[in-house]
Amino acid sequence: MDADQEKVIDKVRKLFNLSKSNFNGEADAALLKAQQLLMENDLTMDDVTEPIPKPAVKDITIEFASTPWWYKYLITILAENFRCEVLEEKLSRTRRRNFILISRETDIEVAKAVFQHAVVIVKHNSKRFRELGTTHENTYIKGFLEGLMVKFKEQVKKNQWGLILIKDTEVVVAKEKFNPVKARKAQAPKVTNDYEAYIHGYVDGNKLDHKQKQIEAGA
């Protein structure tokens, strides 16, 4: 690689850094210019991306004093969208369950932060329906989970993140080494045809601001 190409690569790297700016117009312009330079100089992302050693695969156990039925569904949705594997572990002689997240540390911390944020939102917003009965509360939560699932699917499709979300082989292998005490399959929650509760839940799940939690977790 000659000196001229090195200069172009250095410029592209600076433009990519600039594209991370909080100013949308400036960020978009920098990204477009970087893409233009790549095309004009017959370069690829492999040429300009500086190799970064991958952090080690870790596992973190999330413990709970109690485990509502919907925790499992929520943590599974988040694990799929933050490149984590998740295992459910039954605590002996109790009905409690813990969840083990397996992935790179940053991905785990993000998934955990978004999970905790979502739990607070669900518990707070489902109160009004809880007063009508458990089935109404469950209907709200069902709507929330489905709204959140749709939100992630739309983001993946819109931004073409399919390949980005593929879990590392090391993460999948690490999961296979675990042998937690398996929990019984949870019974499906009883819900009602309370359309208002479902729609409120769906909208809340679909608009969950997980990006702020990603920033706070260091992603």
Residue range 159-180, pLDDT digits in tens: 877 777 888 888 888 888 887 6
pLDDT at residue 138 is higher than 90: yes
DSSP codes joined into one string, 149-212? HHHHHHHHHHHT-TTTTSPPHHHHHHHHT--PPPPPPPPPPP----HHHHHHHHHHHHT--HHH
**Domain ranges within the chain, ordered by starting residue:** 3-48, 57-216
pLDDT, one tens digit per residue, over 64-104 is 878 899 999 999 999 999 999 998 888 777 777 889 999 98
Q: How many CB atoms lie within 10 A of CB 134?
A: 13
